[in-house]
Amino acid sequence: MSLHRAILDAMKSFAVDAPRELKGKLIDIEELDGKLCKKSGKACVDHCKTKDEQKCENQIQRPIHIIGDVAQLFKPTNLQDLIQLLAQQKTENYRLVFGNTSFGLYQKFGPWNFSVLIDIRGVKELYTIQWTVFADSNGTQAQYSLVDFLSLDLKGKVITSVTLPKFTFTGVRAQTYKPSHCLQTHAVQTEAFLLNKQLGDPTILKNALSLLSSELVPESRPSWSSATYRKSLALSIIYKFVLNVCQSKVSQRYTSGATGLVRTPIVGTQDYGTDPSEYPVSKPMPKITAPYLASGKVGFLDDLPPVPGQLFASPVLSTVGNADIDSMDPSIALTLPEVKAFIKASDIPKGGTNDWRPQGIPFVRGHQEHRAYSICWTTPWHYCGSNILQNRMAPVKASMVNPTWEQLVQQCYEKGIDLTASFMTYPTDKYASRYNYYSVACVEAELDVLNGQYQLRLMDMLYDAGISMNPELDIGQAEGGFIMGMGYFLLEGMKFDPTIGKALHDGTWDYKIPLAKDLPMNYNFKFIRNAPNPLGVLRSKAVGEPPLTMGAAALLAIKHAVEAA
C-alpha cells in the first residue's frame, strides 16, 4: 500500500486545473503529438522541415522486407501495398501486427508460430476516417455488420475502419458490461423472444432468463472460472440491465442493483508518534537508498549483457503430471542450430566428482564451530538443545528395552516427535524470549450480489510497533503487508492443468495482484503510542507478518456482506 499510496499521491498532484495565467497558452491533449514548434509554441505541423529532414523521412517511410532464418517481415506504407501482400501471402501462415504486445499475453501465439509477419503500423490509410470497413486481397471493399463479422473468414482481409452508427430514433437504451474474458455469444433465440415484448412484465423477464439459460453453454477451461458461475453472471447482467431500464416499475428495494458500484478517490491518513529527544531513533525519514532505487538505475540479472559464448539452459518438462520416465528422445531439438547439447541426469558424473563449489572465505570466525556432519560438543548451545530433545525422547525410551541410538531416533520419528530444537538467550534471564504483537483492523465492504463486484469502502488499522525506530519505513511495511494479505485472500490464486500439473496462472493475465482500484477507498493507519517493547531493539517491535494476516479482515467483510444480502 505504501508504494500504491506514493504513486497515487504523485498522480493526484497533476490532477489540478492550470492557473488562470496559463489558460489559453497550452495546447489540447489531442494536439500533443510529442513535439512543439520552436517558433509558434504550438503543435508541430512539419512546415519547418529542411530538405535533408524531409529526405530522411521519405527514406524511413519506404517499404521494408526482412528475410530471417525461419520467417519474413514486411512493413508496407500504404493500403495498396498491403492488399498486394495479402494476395501474395494468402496461402502462407501470416499474421498482421501493430504493437505486437499480444505476444506477451498470448504466449502460445508468438512470432515463432508464423512464417510471415506484416507490420501495418506504417499504413497511413488506416489512420483516416472512412466508411468502408474491409478491404480484401482482390482490392475490393465491403462493409459487414457486427453479426456477420463474427463468422467472417479474415484470411486475406484487413480491417480499415469501424463504423459506430448513430441511432436516428428515440427510445433506445444501450448498456455495456465488461467481463474478464471478452467472448461473444449471440443469443438468437432470446433476441427473437424479446422482440416487441415489454421488459417490465415479470413473466416476460422470467421466460427470457429461462430461455437464455438453456441457450448458453459456457465452455469449461481449467484456468477460467467455473462454467456454472459464468452462466449465472450472464443471466445477472441481463437482469441488471432490465432493472436499469425499468427503474420506475421496480420496487425501491431492488433499484440499487440497476447500476454498478461507484468508486471515489482514495483518501487516507497515517498517524504515528515520535520522540525528538531520542532522534535519530523514532525519527521518520526515507530509506537512504530510496533515491537510487527510484532513479531506474538499479540493475537486474536481465540487464546484464551476455558474455561471449554464453549458453542458456531450458528444462525439458514432461507432458504427463505423474509418470515414470521410460526414455527421452532429443533428436528433433538437437537439429536446431541454437541447441548445443541435451543433458540428462545420467550424464552427471557420480562418485563425488561433480561437487565443486566456490571456496568460501570467512571474514570473522565465531566462537561456535562450523557444523557440517556433526554437532559441536564444546559450546553451551549444545547442552540447551540436548536437554530439550532428551525430555521429548524420554517417554519413548522408557517404552523400549535398551534401544540403540538409531533405534530410539527411528521410533521417535515414527511417533511424530520433532527431533529438532533451538534455543536463544538474552544477556540476562530476566525476560522471556518472546513478545507479542497487537493489532486490529476494521474493514467496510460493499458488494454487488448480481455480478460479484466488490469494493472496500473503509479500512482502519491500529498496530502495535512498540517504539518504531523509523515510523516512515515501518508504516510502509505495515500498509504493504496488509495489502499483500488482502491480495492473497481476495485475488491471488493458482490453478493447475489437471493432466500434466502445469501452472496455468503463470502471469498477470490470470494471476491477479492488488492494483489501484482494489485498494480501500478510505485507508487509515495508526501506530499505538507510548507502548515501548522492553524485549526489542531500542524498544521496537518487528513489522512483518502480523499486518499481512490482517488482510483476512477484507475477506471476512465481504463474507458478512454476502450473508447480509
- Would you kindly state where each structural domain of the chain is located, as residue ranges? 32-43+59-151, 188-258, 267-296+435-564, 382-415
pLDDT band at 484 (very low <50, low <70, confident <90, very high): very high
Closest CA to 389 of 416, 425, 420: 420
C-alpha distances out from residue 329 to 194, 326, 332, 343, 348, Å: 59, 10, 8, 11, 18
Q: How many residues does the chain have?
A: 565
Average pLDDT over residues 311-338: 87
pLDDT the model gives residue 385: 59
Average pLDDT over residues 87-99: 86
Residue 439 φ then ψ, to 5°: -155, 155
Instruction: Report the alpha-carbon distance of residue 158 to residue 145 in Å, rounded.
Output: 15
Give the H or E element holding residue 241.
Answer: helix 227-245
> Three-state DSSP class for 442?
strand
Neighbours of 525 (CB within 10 A): 24
Average pLDDT over residues 386-411: 90
C-alpha distances out from residue 99 to 119, 349, 484, Å: 9, 48, 32
Closest CA to 554 of 411, 418, 446, 435: 446
Cell triple for residue 346? Answer: 545420467
Instruction: Report the alpha-carbon distance of residue 316 to residue 314 in Å, rounded.
Output: 6
Determine which of 41-45, 244-248, 396-400, 472-476 has the lowest per-residue pLDDT on average.
Answer: 41-45
Tally the C-alpha atoms within 13 A of residue 263's C-alpha that lie toward its C-beta.
14
pLDDT the model gives residue 332: 92
The CATH number of domain 32-43+59-151, selected from 3.40.1020.10, 3.30.43.10, 3.30.70.2740, 3.40.50.300: 3.30.43.10
Alpha helices in 344-470 (DSSP H): 380-398, 405-414
Name the more confident of 446 and 7.
446
pLDDT the model gives residue 374: 43
pLDDT band at 185 (very low <50, low <70, confident <90, very high): confident
pLDDT band at 107 (very low <50, low <70, confident <90, very high): low
Neighbours of 282 (CB within 10 A): 20
Q: How does the average pLDDT of the chain come out, rounded? A: 81
pLDDT the model gives residue 373: 40
Highest mean pLDDT among 30-39, 142-151, 251-260: 251-260
Determine which of 39-53, 186-200, 431-445 has the lowest per-residue pLDDT on average.
Answer: 39-53
Q: What percent of the chain has pLDDT over 90?
A: 29
Give the CA dihedral 303, 304, 309, 315, nearest 10 degrees. -60
pLDDT the model gives residue 403: 92
pLDDT in tens, 270-289: 999 898 988 998 999 988 88
Kindly give, in sequence order, each residue whose CB lies less than 8 Å from that of residue 467, ignoring residues fewer than 6 positions away: 275, 278, 281, 282, 531, 532, 533, 538, 539, 540
pLDDT band at 32 (very low <50, low <70, confident <90, very high): low
Whether this prediction's pTM lies above 0.75 is answered by no
pLDDT in tens, 108-133: 666 677 889 899 988 888 876 554 45
Determine which of 218-227, 278-287, 329-338, 466-475 has the lowest per-residue pLDDT on average.
Answer: 218-227
Determine which of 50-59, 79-88, 164-173 has the lowest per-residue pLDDT on average.
Answer: 50-59
pLDDT band at 26 (very low <50, low <70, confident <90, very high): low
C-alpha distances out from residue 341 to 112, 308, 337, Å: 21, 17, 11
Instruction: Report the alpha-carbon distance of residue 503 to residue 490 in Å, rounded.
Output: 19
Q: Are 272 and 475 in contact (CB under 8 A)?
A: yes
Instruction: Report the alpha-carbon distance of residue 119 to residue 117 in Å, rounded.
Output: 6
Name the more confident of 372 and 252.
252
Q: What angle do CA 355, 361, 364 make, to 5 degrees?
A: 135
pLDDT at 10 over 80: no
pLDDT in tens, 350-378: 777 766 666 666 555 544 444 444 444 44
Burial degree of 149 (CB within 10 A; 0-12, 13-18, 19+): middle
Kindly give, in sequence order, each residue whose CB lies less than 8 Å from that of residue 545, ignoring residues fewer than 6 positions away: 481
pLDDT in tens, 139-173: 678 888 877 887 888 888 888 888 877 777 677 88
Q: Are 548 and 485 in contact (CB under 8 A)?
A: yes
The string of DSSP codes covering 95-124 is EEESS-THHHH-GGG-GGG-SEEEE-TT-G
Average pLDDT over residues 553-557: 96
pLDDT at 213 over 90: yes
Give me the amino acid identity at 416: G
Cell triple for residue 97? Answer: 501486427
pLDDT the model gives residue 369: 45
Kindly give, in sequence order, each residue whose CB lies less than 8 Å from that of residue 395, ignoring residues fewer than 6 positions away: none
Determine which of 1-15, 160-174, 281-295, 531-545 has the lowest per-residue pLDDT on average.
Answer: 1-15
Q: Are 514 and 487 in contact (CB under 8 A)?
A: yes
Closest CA to 180 of 111, 229, 116, 123: 229
Determine which of 165-174, 299-308, 388-397 has the lowest per-residue pLDDT on average.
Answer: 165-174
C-alpha distances out from residue 11 to 4, 149, 265, 496, 516, Å: 11, 40, 12, 38, 12
C-alpha distances out from residue 339 to 69, 342, 436, 486, 514, Å: 15, 8, 56, 44, 40
Instruction: Report the alpha-carbon distance of residue 520 to residue 498 in Å, rounded.
Output: 35
Kindly give, in sequence order, each residue whose CB lies less than 8 Å from that of residue 497, ignoring residues fewer than 6 positions away: 222, 321, 504
Give me the amino acid identity at 357: R
pLDDT the model gives residue 178: 74
Closest CA to 545 of 431, 434, 463: 463
Average pLDDT over residues 332-350: 88
Closest CA to 268 of 90, 16, 36, 4: 4
> Three-state DSSP class for 306?
coil
Name the more confident of 347 and 165.
347
Q: Report domain 267-296+435-564's class.
A: alpha beta
